[in-house]
Structure 1
Amino acid sequence: MTSHWIDLRQDRETGIETIRAHFEGHAYDPHWHDSYLVGVTELGVQQFDCRRTRHFSTAGRVFLLEPGDIHNGHAPEPGGFTYRTLYLDPQWLVDQLRAQFHDAPEHPHLSFAATLCTDSRLALATAMAFQALHDDELRIVRQAALDHLLSSLTGHLAWRKRLDPDPRLPRVAQRARDYLHAQRQQNIGLDDLAQACGVDRFRLTRAFKAAFGLAPHAYLIQLRLAEARCLLAAGDSPAAVAATLGFADQSHLGRWFRRAYRMTPADYRRRCTNPPDRQVATPQD
């Protein structure tokens, strides 16, 4: 029998979510977040696939995910794994770093140098920032802990100019992605998507999976789930979110939400208060 637990809170001032969780066996299905994830594995072995690579994070190692990084989770050893993670809003992170680096490019994209790293200074800074926010310490304590985290992160971050369109990806896949983002609340079919891109459904699906690691239908579900998190955190009811995003009903949203995040939409809504407005990110290949 497997077990898991999740302790999620949200900082009122920054909107940063802090999650401490434990999983045994299968943890969660492939999904992405619209935030930068900075986390530390506390115990056990945390297995996850990201950017076509299988990673194994053990106690003390730091994992770093960018907005849109598709990843899953699994505990390959008995006893499972425990981790703590901070979900950093992209605009918040850029604004904070701009205060330190005045030569940042216009419309930048922040990239992590590696998905998994061994850096005891960063691991400690992550744990301290997590604790300060999760325990709702004094404002000055929370800010000092976040400043220390940002200072520790700089060696693992790189600025790069955002490319649109991205020359690394097939144009048809990028057109399909843009169409899905624009029509994400509509009941669209593969034939609609293929017609908008000017190719047949089979070629489109092959190109899309090669570019983004998911078939178009799975991508659309994850896109809706990312927006569902924002709407739920803003206080919308699960039933209203399901109707807004084109799910058949609240239970349909709930099934997909639990598969990705291992909690119900109602539970997620209860744990989040007063979030900032956020944009739904475009997953990176």
Structure 2
Amino acid sequence: MAKQSSQFDYYKSQHIPELTVLRAALSDFSYDRHAHEEYALGVTLAGQQDFFSNGEFHRSTPGNVVLLNPEEVHDGHPGDDSMLGYVMAYVAPRQMESMFAEAVGREDAGRFMSRETLISDPVLRRSILDLSHLVTQQAGTCIEQEHALYRIATRLVQRSGTFQVDGKVSRPDALLIRAKEYILAHLEDDVSLDDISQAAHLSKYHFLRLFRQQFGITPHQYVLSCRVNAARNDLSAGAPPNDVAFRYGFTDLSHFNRRFKRIYGKTPHQYQRSVTAPH
């Protein structure tokens, strides 16, 4: 019997602008290491999900929750010969901030960061599956989808994460944040390692070592990841793939296709069709 090919189906919420759900079935696909700007909240449905995140390797089996904080570098692939099935909701931090603040009872709580990556929690699992169902089936009202998100935020706070407080970062972290801000501000430019390390006020050697140690990928991989994430937003807004490829410095559409597919499982055109056409 021929092995079933991998499948990736993306669904944008009709009610919450920066909420996207992925239903994936993987047999022969491996994600490149990359990072998303969003929280990624997933449930393993079938098979075995092997991935690197937060500086270590994880193995998720059916029923487990996978939680990735914004900017957390990760990859992923099936852990055995069976088909890996999972669902993942991607939510922009600004969509969650007020919900986290309400759940913790502090308006100035800051950005929530989970200490856990792989979680066994039936309540959290059910909440993520309920939200994913509402989005993939285009069901429920705006307030119902928001309530499903609030249930997730409340459960995560109950599990005791941390809140990032502005101004309390170490000097190396502050320098790397400056480097990341420079990269994000120059996604459409032909930036060099010299440019980025100078923006961080570090020697090139020290910058490379610190960056790889902190994020688990090279600055080049991070730049590519940020460009692909920005490209995804433009594609969701309806921009032509050719224009997007040129805007973010890919040599041609073929190069853009390869890089995009290594992170999202689809070509830019396939992804755009998936999130803009009715399911």
Q: TM-score, normalised by structure 2?
A: 0.88
Q: Could you give the per-residue CA deviations for residues 164-193 of structure 1, whole angstroms, max 9, x where no partner exists?
A: 573173554344333222222111222333
5+ long unaligned stretches in structure 1: 275-285
RMSD, matched Cα: 2.4
The residue aligned with 1:257 is 260
Contact 2:51-2:74 at 8 Å conserved across structures: yes
Matches within 5 A, 1:223-262: 223-262=226-265
Show the 5 A alignment for 1:40-119.
40-105=43-108, 108-119=110-121
Q: In structure 2, what is the Cα distance between the partners aligned to 1:203 and 1:102?
A: 41
Work out whether 1:24 is the aligned partner of 2:27: yes
The answer to whether the aligner puts 1:4 opposite 2:6 as a matched pair is: yes
Q: Write the distance in 2 (CA, Å) between the matches of 1:110 and 1:28.
A: 26
Secondary structure at the aligned position of 1:73 is classed as strand
Q: Is the 8 A contact 1:25 1:76 kept in 2?
A: no
Amino acid at match of 1:124: R
1:15-70 deviation digits (Å, cap 9, x = unpaired): 31111101124421111111111110001110000011101110000011111111
Q: Report the Cα offset of residue 199 of structure 1.
A: 4.3
Gaps of 5+ in 2: none
Q: Is the 8 A contact 1:61 1:119 kept in 2?
A: yes
Counterpart AA for 1:129: L
For residues 169 and 273 of structure 1, do their structure 2 counterparts lie closer, same or farther at Cα, with a shift above 3 Å needed?
A: farther
CA distance in 2, matches of 1:198, 1:101: 37
1:171 and 1:100 mapped to 2: Cα distance? 28
Please give the alpha-carbon distance, in whole angstroms, between the structure 2 residues aligned to 1:175 and 1:150.
Answer: 29
Indicate how the Cα distance of structure 1 residues 247 and 116 shifts in structure 2: closer, same or farther if over 3 A, else same: same
Equivalences, count: 273
Post-superposition shift, 1:87?
1.1
CA contact (8 A) 2:48 2:82 kept: no
Task: Among all aligned residue pairs of Structure 1 and Structure 2, give the percentage whose two residues are the same amino acid.
Answer: 28
Query: Aligned AA for 1:110?
Result: F
| Residue identity opposite 2:187 in structure 1 | R
Q: Matched residues in 2 for 1:133 and 1:179: separation?
A: 34
Q: CA deviation at 1:98?
A: 3.7
